[in-house]
Structure 1
């Protein structure tokens, strides 16, 4: 059954119907999930792994990572008035990822029938905007070292490694893209932090000092505090495995969905 808090009160029959019209796809690291300017009629819900949202610059190498979509979080259109939308940014797998493609029309129907679903989606959109504003504020206000340190700490939450820290497959290029710094500056800063014992690596991940969190800006906005209980990563997976068994084939490495 659906276990995601966003649709916890939706009747089981309608949950099952939503599963039947959704697809589960898998992507390798650096695979493109959705291209900018591409039209789609799906909402993208991360079942596992991590996606990044990329805005393309006018010059080569000018791409910027504006946001991350982590497990149980969504990528959807800023406007929810139509059953399809044109993506303004590119969605890329930052790590090997499994993604549910959920029809916009089906979710819009649920929003019309169950106001709590619409309120939940609004809360998620507000939270994402708050995260983006916070990152822009950090880029404009923090020194290179403080900015890189804060991004490294954030990655421990977005892409946690099995031994702690963050997944070492998150490259310095991605960190540079998200922090608004050059890769050279990021590399120099991380090496300096390593030399001071604030960053260390093992075979699974990159471990950072817990004090990095102190560089973050204040808490949630009041309205976000009221909606914080619906934050996806705090709940159970949106699609429970037993709902998919027998109804969908496993996704292959090319992102296609097999069917029995």
Structure 2
């Protein structure tokens, strides 16, 4: 038994010890998993569902919260560094859908990284892949029209929160889509209504359906489970790697909400 495919090559005894030291919690949709400013000594590994990373704005008259990232099944939310036993959260972690999350002690994960370099390399590859996705999104979406922005986000959601082939979970609200796309809810609502009237988007009991060629997406499976990480030679991982696993704090779109 293991909590994540990343631990597939860890010995059974150590996997059992990891399970026993970890905690599995369930969260309702929109429930806060970790509040910004609070302290935690855990790494958050999504067993099922979807979490979103929220940056709290400071604008006036009403601050705007921005969803900067999503954490899906088998992915991790890690503090600024694995070198410290605990960290103060810079962002709020919220369940975008009903979710089950493994809370893994930072100390336990750091110990595994030291004993199994392939675990550290896997985490590093995951972090690098996520950063590359965010850079590509920022570069491409800064030049897209409002409809193209919404189209791209809807297509990404079919990967992040799939309900059926070519559809995403209808419980993902327009407010979340607006928060993630950097647009106002009113603009997203108007754009999606127009897309429905033109037959580009369809809703039913299964979810919100989006054509396969609706938009391109950078989201693939970020953690290649089939890769044989055990082939990595021991002691190839520099300990400084452990200080680099963090989520980018900036708004990935780098734009202000669009006026109606």
**Does residue 68 of structure 1 match 2:70?**
yes
Match of 1:212 among 191, 211, 214: 214
Which protein is richer in helix relative to its size?
Answer: 1
Question: Does residue 29 of structure 2 align to residue 58 of structure 1?
Answer: no
Cα separation, 1, equivalents of 2:30 and 2:55: 15
Deviates most, 205-214 or 43-52: 205-214
Deviation at 1:164, TM superposition (A): 4.6
Q: What residue is the counterpart of 1:91 in the other structure?
A: 93
Q: 2-side partners of 1:231 and 1:66: how far apart?
A: 28
1:61 CA displacement? 4.1
Residue correspondence of structure 1 range 27-46 to structure 2 within 5 A: 27-46=27-46
Cα gap change, 1:228 to 1:49, in 2 (>3 Å)? closer
State which of 129, 141, 156 in structure 2 corresponds to 1:139: 141
Offset at residue 186 of structure 1 (A): 0.7
Q: Quick check: 56-65 or 175-184, which moved more?
A: 56-65
Unaligned ranges ≥5, structure 2: 228-260
User: Taking CA–CA contacts closer than 8 Å with sequence separation of 6 or more, which of the two structures ends up with the larger relative contact order?
Assistant: 1
The CA deviation at 1:37 is: 1.3
Number of positions where the alignment pairs a residue of Structure 1 with one of Structure 2: 225
TM-score in terms of structure 2 length:
0.81
Per-residue CA distance 1:76-124 (angstroms, 9 max, x = gap) = 0132211111111100000111111000000000101111111011011
| Coordinate RMSD, CA, aligned | 2.1
Distance 1:231 1:24, change over 3 A: farther
Instruction: Map 1:128-207 to 2 at 5 A.
Output: 128-162=130-164, 164-207=166-209
State the match for 2:12 in structure 1: 12
